[in-house]
Amino acid sequence: MSRQVLFTLALLALTACTVTAASQDESQRRPGLLKVGEKVETNLVFAQGVEHSEIITAPMATYIAVHFSDYKLNTGDIVIVRSPDAKTAFTYGAEGVYGQSSFVADLVPGESAVIEYFPVSTSAASRQAFRINAYSRGVSLSANQEAVCGTDDMMQMKCFAPNQFLTPLRPLAYERGLAVARLLVEGSHACTGWLVGSAGHLMTNAHCVEDEAMANRMHVEFAAESGSCAQKCEDWLACKGQKVTLTTKLVARNRDHDYAVLKLPDDVDLWPYGFLTLRKEGAAVNEEIYVPNHSRAWGKRIAFMEDGKMIKVDSFGPSGQCAQNGLHFTGDIQGGASGSPAIGASDNKVVGIVSCGGWCPGKDIAEDIRLIIADLERKGVVIPDAY
């Protein structure tokens, strides 16, 4: 089948997408820290050696994410965070999450979460075991609705899997897209990140992770995608994937170039997802690119076409909205896609990191990977197999 026929078939499929009018202001369209939940302060103290339980309820919440602080259990103690019916349950031991004294527990769907503390031996309270200082309550999609300019041309990543109808257009898009993760920041906001190099480094935007504390409370979820090309994942955190860790460490960050490099725990199995590499030469004007992303914190999709044309690098230059020297392109990138890789179609290497955009008529901006590489070299940061 010729490329032209495949292109025509793709156009026919894309014209079937729902058209939604763009009426949001700039702050709504900017693909930054997409709000999928609200943080609520509280103060629930659990005493060492005293079996105890609490229940947190937030009417109309789509999920509850419990925030632990001052976590210090004895060996053998356990904490269970579960749904009232116990269909969803997560167990944390004395180490908690990789020894972090503060962390955000995995999400419990629904309006309520039960927290149970079971000490290995009971005793009169002498000190604090841990404290719950906050929780995040998930908000519904309608509470933070977004739209795109005209037709949303992004396609489910599964449409690029082997033997799917879009595979010939971007033969390696699915394989490369496996390295792209959905990020949940402090239980309340969403971004996109991706594995770079072979040693468990993950790259995203600096505005997605401002400091080490935020990195420590970062959930990383791979394979959050539809089961088929036809299936839709059009809701916050839809099409649940594999959440590989609830914490990361901050390796490098530059606000001016809007990038951050995180390190995932060494014992996390990342082999199924592969990794992306960086193009030292950067992008060229008019070259075709594609962007695997988690816009709106939905299941993973790929932006590769806009209004019947393949997405290309339109220009380079400063932007009043964000990048000092950005890579400009036209796509359907939306909130939650911050940190996504802009990948060159010719060699499937990363040429930029999506930083902002979504302004009609659809101009999007990615940070030039050349500037990021130069900054990493200045900092002495080495990422094995990054090139």
**DSSP assignment string, 180-240:** EEEEEETTTEEEEEEEETTTTEEEE-GGG--SHHHHHTEEEEE----SSSS----STT-S-
pLDDT tens figures, 152-201 = 789 999 999 999 999 999 999 999 999 999 999 999 999 999 999 999 99
Regarding whether 47 and 20 lie in a shared domain, the answer is no
- Whether residue 272 contacts residue 152, with contact meaning beta carbons closer than 8 Å, is answered with no
Regarding whether 320 and 178 lie in a shared domain, the answer is yes
| pLDDT for 73 | 96
Q: What are phi and psi of 379, to 5 degrees?
A: -80, -10
Regarding whether 293 and 169 lie in a shared domain, the answer is yes
Q: How many domains does the chain have?
A: 2
| pLDDT for 9 | 38
Structural domain boundaries enclosing 181:
3-34+145-379
Of 138, 153, 179, the residue at which a domain comes to its end is 138
| pLDDT for 364 | 82
pTM score, two decimals? 0.89
First to last CA, the chain: 33
In a domain, 181, yes or no: yes
In a domain, 385, yes or no: no
The tokens for 106 are 């995995």
Q: Which amino acid is at 113?
A: A
Residue 107, SS3 per DSSP: coil
In a domain, 44, yes or no: yes
In a domain, 386, yes or no: no
Residues in the chain: 387
In a domain, 299, yes or no: yes
Regarding whether 211 and 95 lie in a shared domain, the answer is no
How far is the C-alpha of 224 from the C-alpha of 236, rounded, in Å? Answer: 11
| pLDDT for 153 | 85
Regarding whether 280 and 176 lie in a shared domain, the answer is yes
Regarding whether 238 and 375 lie in a shared domain, the answer is yes
Query: What CATH number is attached to the domain comprising 76?
Result: 2.60.120.290
Regarding whether 11 and 97 lie in a shared domain, the answer is no
Question: Could you identify the residue written with the tokens 């094995």?
Answer: 384
Regarding whether 321 and 181 lie in a shared domain, the answer is yes
**DSSP assignment string, 271-305:** GGG--B-B-TT---TT-BEEEEE-GGG-S-EEE-E
pLDDT tens figures, 103-126 = 999 999 999 999 999 999 987 767
In a domain, 59, yes or no: yes
Residue 145, SS3 per DSSP: coil
Regarding whether 231 and 154 lie in a shared domain, the answer is yes
Of 95, 112, 138, the residue at which a domain comes to its end is 138
Residue among 348, 4, 351 at smallest CA distance from 168: 4
Q: What are phi and psi of 309, to 5 degrees?
A: -125, 145
Regarding whether 195 and 78 lie in a shared domain, the answer is no
| pLDDT for 142 | 55
In a domain, 43, yes or no: yes
Residue among 325, 321, 387, 350 at smallest CA distance from 26: 321
In a domain, 384, yes or no: no
- Averaged over successive runs of 10 residues, the pLDDT of the chain (387 residues) comes to 40 37 35 84 96 98 98 97 98 97 97 98 85 96 53 91 96 98 97 98 97 97 98 93 98 96 98 99 96 96 91 83 76 89 98 79 82 98 98
Omega within 30 of 0 (cis) for the link into 361: yes
How far is the C-alpha of 227 from the C-alpha of 342, rounded, in Å? Answer: 24
How far is the C-alpha of 275 from the C-alpha of 350, rounded, in Å? Answer: 11
| pLDDT for 14 | 41
How far is the C-alpha of 168 from the C-alpha of 165, rounded, in Å? Answer: 7
- Whether residue 206 contacts residue 259, with contact meaning beta carbons closer than 8 Å, is answered with yes
| pLDDT for 307 | 82
Regarding whether 212 and 149 lie in a shared domain, the answer is yes
Task: Give the distance, in angstroms, between the CA of residue 271 and the centroid of all CA atoms in the same chain.
Answer: 19
| pLDDT for 145 | 46
Query: What CATH number is attached to the domain comprising 249?
Result: 2.40.10.120
Sign (positive or negative) of CA dihedral 191, 194, 200, 203: negative
Of 97, 121, 138, the residue at which a domain comes to its end is 138
Regarding whether 44 and 29 lie in a shared domain, the answer is no
How far is the C-alpha of 109 from the C-alpha of 95, rounded, in Å? Answer: 24
